[in-house]
């Protein structure tokens, strides 16, 4: 049950191995680690399956966000991945920003 939680363990730097960008890394309640974009979006702008929040224990959770804002997993908007589909312009803008900032040759 990884649900996009594919970040390296804390022994490694919090850098996406695909694009080379630093990310916010959090442990999930099921023991995996996930990179979350350091951008907060209103939950109405984010598909349910991409809504993540960090709880009071500093763990990433992706069940119904009680907060009005959430973060999206980096895998969904990695600049070296294909453009996300079925998402709003805000998420596409994050992907485009990551695409421009991705390390050459990463």
Q: Where are the domains of the chain?
A: 38-101
**Percent of the chain whose pLDDT exceeds 70:** 91
Average pLDDT, the chain: 88
Residues 21-27, mean pLDDT to the nearest whole number: 94
pTM of the full predicted structure? Answer: 0.86
Q: Which residues in the chain belong to E strands, given as ranges?
A: 24-28, 33-36, 41-42, 53-54, 59-61, 69-70
Tens digits of per-residue pLDDT, 78-101? 999 999 988 999 999 999 999 999
Give the per-residue pLDDT at 105.
64
DSSP 9: P
Residue keyed to tokens 């990179």: 35
Mean pLDDT of 62-71: 79
Please classify residue 58 by burial: count the beta carbons closer than 10 Å to its beta carbon, then call 0-12 exposed, 13-18 middle and 19+ buried: exposed
């Amino acid at each position: 049950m990884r649900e996009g939680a594919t970040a390296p363990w804390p022994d490694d730097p919090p850098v996406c191995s695909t694009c080379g960008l630093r990310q916010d890394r959090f442990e999930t309640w099921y023991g995996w680690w996930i990179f979350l974009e350091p951008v907060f979006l209103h939950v109405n702008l984010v598909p349910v399956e991409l809504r993540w929040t960090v709880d009071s224990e500093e763990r990433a959770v992706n069940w119904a966000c009680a907060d009005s804002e959430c973060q999206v997993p980096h895998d969904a908007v990695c600049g070296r991945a294909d453009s996300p589909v079925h998402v709003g312009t805000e998420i596409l803008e994050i992907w485009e920003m990551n695409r421009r900032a991705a390390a050459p040759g990463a």
